[in-house]
Amino acid sequence: MELERLVKEKPYLVTVALVGALLIGVGVLSAAMIAGRASSSEIEIVRSGEEAFDDAQDKEIFVDVSGAVIKPGLYQLAADARVNDALAAAGGLDEAADREWFAKNINLAQKVEDGAKIFIPTISETSSENLGVGGGAAGETVTGKVNVNTATAAELDLLWGIGPATAEKIIANRPYSSVEELLDKKVLKSNVYETNRDKLTVY
């Protein structure tokens, strides 16, 4: 009876109570939905601009292409670039290139390392080398150094610390873009490499 009288005398109190209850219910429901959404969402880590730049730098290498190519120069390539990509960037072989030597000594599928040098000789350069200008042997250049990309097993065997087995290992790992690759590819031991490196060259 008391409740009926209160409703009749002060109906606005009932309205306020219902609105309050409704607001409380909506608040509880919203909080539950937000909590569920936060727990199920993935956290995205946004990298800084400096870190993204460093990653981009890591994905590129520099290669020096020289000799008998259309556009000799320093080229920036993708980290997974091959010798073929480097030569394509340099415009390919020019007319003076020794294509027979190229076919025998250059592996187009070989992966290029950062800082590598690719040199393509001309026909006159390889002819002089093969004739042993200056008294040199077939694998010896006009400067008297042994070209590890063209020297025979017998010529390599004459070097200090290099026997028949090591000579064959050198030949099997051709071509080389630098003398240092003999060490990088673990073809020569460090003491043998240090003793002979000034006597070696690559073409």
The verdict on 113 and 158 lying in the same domain is: no
The verdict on 114 and 136 lying in the same domain is: no
- Comparison of pLDDT for 178 and 27, the residue scoring more: 178
The verdict on 107 and 145 lying in the same domain is: no
The verdict on 115 and 164 lying in the same domain is: no
Share in percent of the chain as helix, strand, coil (round to 5): 50, 15, 35
110 Cβ neighbours under 8 A, 6+ residues apart? 82, 83, 175
Q: What is the pLDDT of residues 40-89, one digit of tens each?
A: 444 444 444 444 445 545 689 999 998 899 999 999 999 999 999 999 99
Q: What is the pLDDT of residues 122-181, one digit of tens each?
A: 888 777 555 333 334 444 443 468 888 888 888 888 899 999 999 999 988 888 888 899
CATH number at residue 197: 1.10.150.320
If you ran DSSP here, which 8-state letter would residue 136 be given?
Answer: -
Where residue 22 falls among pLDDT bands split at 50, 70, 90? low
Please name the helix (run of DSSP H) or strand (run of DSSP E) that holds residue 200, with its range, or none.
strand 200-201
The DSSP code sequence of 23-72 is: HHHHHHHHHHHHHHHHHHSPPPPPPPHHHHHHHHHHTEEEEEEEESBSS-
**Do the beta carbons of residue 162 and residue 156 sit within 8 Å?**
yes
The residue range of the domain holding 85 is 51-122
Q: Which two tokens stand for residue 153?
A: 């097993």
The verdict on 104 and 139 lying in the same domain is: no
What's the gap between Cα 43 and its chain centre?
Answer: 30
**What per-residue confidence (pLDDT) applies to 137?**
43
Overall number of domains in the chain: 2
Average pLDDT over residues 172-191: 88
**What per-residue confidence (pLDDT) applies to 119?**
86
Residue 118: exposed, middle, or buried by beta-carbon count in 10 A (0-12, 13-18, 19+)? buried
**What per-residue confidence (pLDDT) applies to 202?**
84
- Comparison of pLDDT for 20 and 194, the residue scoring more: 194
Residue 107: exposed, middle, or buried by beta-carbon count in 10 A (0-12, 13-18, 19+)? exposed
Opening angle at CA 180, ends 175 and 183, nearest 5: 95
Of 12-16, 107-111, 121-125, the one with minimum mean pLDDT is 12-16
* Packed helices 2-9 and 11-40: angle between N→C axes, nearest 10 degrees: 90
Where residue 110 falls among pLDDT bands split at 50, 70, 90? confident
Q: Is the pLDDT of residue 100 over 80?
A: yes
